[in-house]
Structure 1
Amino acid sequence: MIPKDPVMLLSYINTQLRDFYDSYEDLCKSLDLDQNEVKQKLSMIGYEYDESLNQFK
């Protein structure tokens, strides 16, 4: 289960991307997450996915 709090979610997603996944799409497929829902939650706290860095910043 992924964190519901946006700040905790940011930390969790970026850690997963850094340690286990080559792309955000791979992470979402593997964990059965809605890509748009996660992006929307993180954009609420000012973070967007940077594909070149493979992280939300």
Structure 2
Amino acid sequence: MDLHKATNMDPNILLGIVNDQLRHECKDLHSLAMMMDVDEFTLEDKMARIGYHYEADLNQFSPDL
């Protein structure tokens, strides 16, 4: 999968991919953004549109409460 174009995906599908990458490949959001070649804020904004935010202590995107 070409992760460089991932931000053009459906955000719900992207959420699953991003959380999987954070769980298995990346130690934090910064390293994920570097791997995907996207801006961290762009990724956070895309996830915020579907009601998710990044939790550094869990290293995952979680639903807003």
TM-score computed with the length of structure 1 as normaliser: 0.91
Q: Which has the larger radius of gyration?
A: 2
Aligned to 1:34: 39
Work out the percentage of aligned pairs sharing the same amino acid. 35
> Residue 53 of structure 1 aligns to which amino acid in structure 2?
L
What is the CA distance between 1:34 and its match in structure 2?
Answer: 1.4
Q: Name the SS of the counterpart of 2:12 in structure 1.
A: helix
Structure 1 or 2: more strand by fraction: 2
> Residue 57 of structure 2 aligns to which amino acid in structure 1?
S
How many residue pairs get aligned? The number is 57
Tell me how large the CA RMSD over aligned residues is: 1.1
Which 4+ residue blocks in structure 1 deviate beyond 2 angstroms? none
Question: Looking at both structures, which has the greater relative contact order when contacts are Cα pairs under 8 Å and sequence separation is at least 6?
Answer: 1
Aligned to 1:5: 10
Q: Name the SS of the counterpart of 2:15 in structure 1.
A: helix
Aligned to 1:47: 52
